[in-house]
Structure formats: C-alpha cells, structure tokens
Chains A and B, each alone.
Chain A
Amino acid sequence: MKRLWTVPALALCSIALSAFAQDGGVFDQYREMLGDDSPAIFVIDEGEEYWYAPAGPNDVSLEACDLGLGAGVVEGAYAQMPRFFDDTGRVMDVEARLLHCMVTLQGRDAAEVHAKPYSGRGDMGTEMEALVAWIADQSMGSPLTPGQTHSEEQAAFTLGEQIFYYRAGPHDFSCATCHEQAGVRIRLQDLAELPNPEAARDIATTWPAYRLSQGVVRTFGWRMRDCLRQQRLPELIMGSEASVALQHYLSVKASGAPMNAPGLKR
C-alpha cells in the first residue's frame, strides 16, 4: 500500500539546556519537542471537572475551598503554598488543604481519601492527582512564594531542613545522601543538589509533573513519599507534618522562581 504520510523529523527549536543536565540536555530537547502536547493537559481538564463536581455526603463541589487566597480563588494559590492556615492552625500543602476541604465541605471520610490518593500500577490517574494538576496549572508563571512570615512557617522550614539530613533505616539514607552534592547521578539519573537554591528552583517549580515512565501526573507530596520508600523508610502520610515540612523547605529554597507546572519528567 502506497504510503500517504511521513512522520516528520520534528524541527528542534532553541534548546534550553539545563545547567545541571549530565545527559547533555537530551531530556530538555524532548520537552521542547513535545511542547504543550504533554498528556498533562488531559489530567488538568479532569482536575477542573473534579473541582466543580458535587461529591460526598453533603453533595457539594470544592468551589468554596479556600487555598489561601480566599474561598474559591484558585488562580495563583498553588504558588503561595505551603503556607499557614488560621482555620487549622498549621502549615499545609495543597494535598492537605484539599483533604481538609473534602472533609469539611463535602463531608467525606479522611481515611477513604488517604487509602488511595495516588495512582497504582495500571491506573490512569486519581482525583487528587488531577485536582493538583489543575490547581498548579492555575499558577503557571506565578513566582513561587511559600509562606515565610509566620513562626509556624519558619518552624516548618527548620523541620524540613532537619529531615533532609536525617539518616535512618537499614541503608542509613537521608535526602542528603543523594541530593547534597552537585553534579552526581544515580545510575543515569541526574541528581539535583537541593540545598542549592539554583537546583531547588528547577525542582520545586516543576512539580506536579506528568511522569512518562508511569503515564500519570505525580504530585510533590507523592515525590516525598516515594523518596522515603526508596530510603527504605515507612510510608509517608499525605499532607502530614513531615511531608509538608520537606516540601516547604524546598519551596523556600526555590522561592521567587516562576512556577512551571505541571512539568514533564521521566
């Protein structure tokens, strides 16, 4: 059969080479080529649907949820998290805040949300992942400015930093084991030197992200959980004090950089 088509060699536009890429910028080129054809666009749309869909025993949507900028204000909210919330008296990340709204507005059971917040093998995405993708997209381009003025926010930074260096488990791994040095990699995966603000900016502004190897959007909280798993430590609870503290530490290190999420990662 005569072929009517050719698959083009996609023209490489200007390539933004990351200063830290040991792969010579190959993945950066891939991102450039894919452009906004990242499958995250589907997940963003799904997240918006979840936000406006009535759910739970109270049969209400999440439209009145306050993400820190007022009830129902989503634009720019993700870029200002984690932050202290008066009504709960604690520093919260977006997942903790969504859980709070699901429970208080929709009357849902927290344990049920905690049971399966993230996709497993064979899943196409969860409600939490979709909501976070959409909410983060509403902060695209906004400078990352997590809360830093409240004493609880400062305490969360300190706790996050201490956890970063906390060696534990049979392998004695801390976050620092992999992320303390510049210019190293594990197998072929470049590792970011996270206490360095330049590296933290690349990282904290690109979560949540569509993860090609898993075919789903993963959140920043999921990334902390999966790091702890690889450190041979127990399961990190979504939205918990330690999870929020770690995200807060990294977000403060990165503060000022424009958000670019959902990102695209391997």
Chain B
Amino acid sequence: MRMKSISLRSLSLMGVVSAFFVLAACADSSSPEKGAASEIADVALANSVYDALMASTNDKGQATKARLRQDEVQEFCSKPRSDYGDAERANAIREARMALVQMPADGEFIGDWARGAEVANNGRGLQYSDDPAAPNGGNCYACHQMDPREVAYGTIGPSLTNYGARGQSEVMLQYTWTKMWDTHAYNLCSHMPRFGAQGILTEQQLKDVMAYLLDPASPVNQPLEAQQEN
C-alpha cells in the first residue's frame, strides 16, 4: 500500500511525530509502538525519495522512470551496510529469491569460455547511452579479478582467479550459477547485480561466463608464467 506524495516539510513533521512515539514507547518497555512508528517514517521517507526522483528525471532511451520503482530486494537493501537489521525479514527475502532461481533449461551449465571472456570485459548494456539492440555485458572486471594476466580489474568483489580449482560437481555448478542469477539467494544486499533474475544476461551468456570461471582451459585457471631470471 503506497502513501500519497509527501512534501519534505511534512517529512520533518513526520520526524517529530515519530520521535514523539519513540519517546512515548521508551516509557513503556513492552509497547510495540516504537517499531510501528519508525516503519511509518521509513515508508514515508522511501515514498518521498521515489517522488523526488520521479520529479527529477526524464525518460531517456531505454532508461525509463519505471526503473525507479523498487522491488522488495531493492527496498530492503537501500540502507548503509551497517543497518541490515531485521534478520527475520532478511531470511524471508533470501529464501524467496532462492525459490525464484532458474537453472538452465537443458541442464547444461558450461558454455564457451572465449565468449565468456567477452561478456566479462563488456561494460555496456541497459544505459540510455547504449544501443538496445546490442547484447548486454556482464562487466565482471569492473569488480572482480579473473584472468591473472589482466591488470585492469576492480576490487569491489573478491578475486575469482583460479575459480576452476573448485571443480564442477553438481553442487558447485548450481552454486556458481545461483550467485550470478541472483546473488541475494545467498548474500542478501550484496552489491552484485542479479544477472539472471533481472534479465541482464541471457542464459547462453551466463553459461559462457560459467565456462570462463570453471573450464580448466580458461585463462582464469591458467597460472601466470614463472618470472624469467635475468
């Protein structure tokens, strides 16, 4: 249920009102009002942010204002890392995301690592500056190290160099696939995009990235040549 648009002036009034409830609740330790009032304030604030963004943006190319509407994961995760309280709700969302994961239709997880390398290097896709007809990239190198020969890698995510050492058991294939499909199934509020669940990559592209990570022949799993003595 969505509340009507609220101006920022009434937001500060909301703050005062919810503060009043908080103080009132403190007087009676068994009162549930504190949680309810801060939830109302949270919802009001979230709607106000949505309204402000809607009024402050224009549709452009494929990036329409519909993208500003948050789903459950986005809404829950729109806070500092230190604030991820409410373990019960977190578990519920995580389990819901796990239930939505779609494994490959034909049961084959491993594609072509050379195509997977292209997906990993390609940072384009879904911006209003991108051609909607062109395939999306995974932009894996933005955040991860993979091929040890590649120096231009990011450090927002852990290194995936030699990922293939984990082998290709059914468990490992499903785990790796799920991480890419929807990382929140394991790690709620991770920074990583939901490449499958949000339709960023196709099933074939995901299989190709799986190969880039898991195929023993992939450069990700080839160690650096030993340094030559001079």
Asked if A and B bind, the verdict is yes
Asked whether, in the complex, the Cβ of B70 is within 8 Å of the Cβ of A232, the reply is no
Q: Which of A176, A178, A234, A240 has the most CB of B within 10 A?
A: A234
Chain A nearest CB from B154 CB (Å) reads 5
Asked whether, in the complex, the Cβ of A242 is within 8 Å of the Cβ of B11, the reply is no
Q: Which of A162, A167, A188 contacts B74 (CB 8 A)?
A: A167
| Residues of A close to B63: CB separation below 8 A | 169, 229, 232-235
Interface size class of B (residues with CB under 8 A): 35 or more
Asked whether, in the complex, the Cβ of B57 is within 8 Å of the Cβ of A236, the reply is yes
Contact (A159, B52) CB under 8 Å given A168-B74, A184-B154: yes
Asked whether, in the complex, the Cβ of A240 is within 8 Å of the Cβ of B80, the reply is no
Q: Which partner residue on chain B sits nearest A90 by CB separation?
A: B8
| Residues of A close to B142: CB separation below 8 A | 186-187
| Residues of A close to B78: CB separation below 8 A | 162, 165-167, 174
| Residues of B close to A166: CB separation below 8 A | 49, 53, 70, 78
Contact with B along A157-173 (1 / 0, CB 8 A): 01100110111111111
| Bound Cα distance A230, B156 (Å) | 16
Q: Which of B9, B58, B154, B194 contacts A186 (CB 8 A)?
A: B154
Q: Which of B46, B67, B154 contacts A185 (CB 8 A)?
A: B154
| Bound Cα distance A41, B152 (Å) | 32
Interface-side segment among B21-29, B31-39, B126-134: B126-134
> Is A152 in contact with chain B by the CB < 8 A criterion?
yes
| Residues of A close to B60: CB separation below 8 A | 234-235
| Bound Cα distance A243, B56 (Å) | 7
> Is B77 in contact with chain A by the CB < 8 A criterion?
yes
| Residues of B close to A55: CB separation below 8 A | none
Chain A nearest CB from B42 CB (Å) reads 10
Chain B nearest CB from A155 CB (Å) reads 4
Q: Which partner residue on chain B sits nearest A232 by CB separation?
A: B126
Q: Which partner residue on chain A sits nearest B74 by CB separation?
A: A167
Asked whether, in the complex, the Cβ of A170 is within 8 Å of the Cβ of B141, the reply is no
Q: Which of A165, A169, A186, A243 contacts B156 (CB 8 A)?
A: A186
Asked whether, in the complex, the Cβ of B67 is within 8 Å of the Cβ of A242, the reply is no
| Residues of B close to A62: CB separation below 8 A | none
Asked whether, in the complex, the Cβ of B154 is within 8 Å of the Cβ of A233, the reply is no
| Residues of B close to A154: CB separation below 8 A | 12
> Is A237 in contact with chain B by the CB < 8 A criterion?
yes
> Is B169 in contact with chain A by the CB < 8 A criterion?
no
Q: Which of B46, B53, B80, B155 has the most CB of A within 10 A?
A: B53
Asked whether, in the complex, the Cβ of B191 is within 8 Å of the Cβ of A234, the reply is no
Contact with B along A41-57 (1 / 0, CB 8 A): 00000000000000000
Asked whether, in the complex, the Cβ of B49 is within 8 Å of the Cβ of A159, the reply is yes
Q: Which of A134-186 contact B (CB under 8 A)?
A: 151-152, 154-156, 158-159, 162-163, 165-174, 176-178, 180-181, 183-186
Asked whether, in the complex, the Cβ of B11 is within 8 Å of the Cβ of A163, the reply is no
> Is A113 in contact with chain B by the CB < 8 A criterion?
no
| Residues of A close to B191: CB separation below 8 A | 177
Asked whether, in the complex, the Cβ of B53 is within 8 Å of the Cβ of A242, the reply is yes
> Is A66 in contact with chain B by the CB < 8 A criterion?
no
Asked whether, in the complex, the Cβ of B9 is within 8 Å of the Cβ of A155, the reply is yes
> Is A92 in contact with chain B by the CB < 8 A criterion?
no
Q: Which partner residue on chain B sits nearest A189 by CB separation?
A: B154
| Residues of A close to B154: CB separation below 8 A | 184-188
Q: Contacts A156-B8, A171-B126, A186-B156 known; list 11 others, CB within 8 Å.
A: A151-B12, A158-B45, A159-B49, A162-B48, A186-B154, A187-B152, A187-B154, A229-B127, A230-B127, A232-B127, A242-B56
> 18 A-B pairs, CB-CB below 8 angstroms?
A155-B9, A162-B48, A166-B78, A167-B78, A170-B67, A170-B193, A173-B193, A180-B81, A183-B155, A184-B155, A187-B142, A229-B63, A233-B67, A234-B57, A235-B59, A237-B56, A240-B56, A242-B55
Residues of B that sit less than 8 Å from A by CB: 8-9, 11-12, 45-46, 48-49, 52-53, 55-60, 63-65, 67-70, 73-75, 77-81, 126-129, 141-143, 151-156, 191, 193-194, 198-200
